[in-house]
Amino acid sequence: MKTMTCKQLGGACELAFHASNFDEIAAQSKQHGMEMFNRGDQPHLEAMTAMKKMMQSPADMQAWLEAKRKEFEALPEDQ
């Protein structure tokens, strides 16, 4: 099990997500993002706007995802 925060995954807060692989942690982050969107949380909405801009370039988005996947894989296992 490894831990990454919302902020480490492009979000706006320090909420910690715990997962055994990157796909699981990405799904948790996405769910959290949807909750924050539904609440109208301004810092998260701003982070989402930045992500939307990056998503306009598939190459940039793929590079970002790969960098986050490598960051996750390099993390130590939780104690």
Block means of pLDDT (10 residues each) for the chain, 79 residues, are: 97 97 97 97 96 91 95 95
pLDDT of amino acid 8: 96
How many CA within 13 A on the CB side of residue 68?
A: 22
pTM of the model: 0.91
pLDDT of amino acid 79: 85
List the beta strands (DSSP E) in the chain: 2-5, 16-19
Counting every residue written for the chain, the total comes to 79
Q: Is the dihedral of CA 26, 45, 64, 17 positive or negative?
A: negative
How many CA within 13 A on the CB side of residue 22?
A: 13
**Domain regions of the chain by residue span:** 2-74
What's the token pair of residue 34? 């949807």
What's the token pair of residue 64? 């970002």
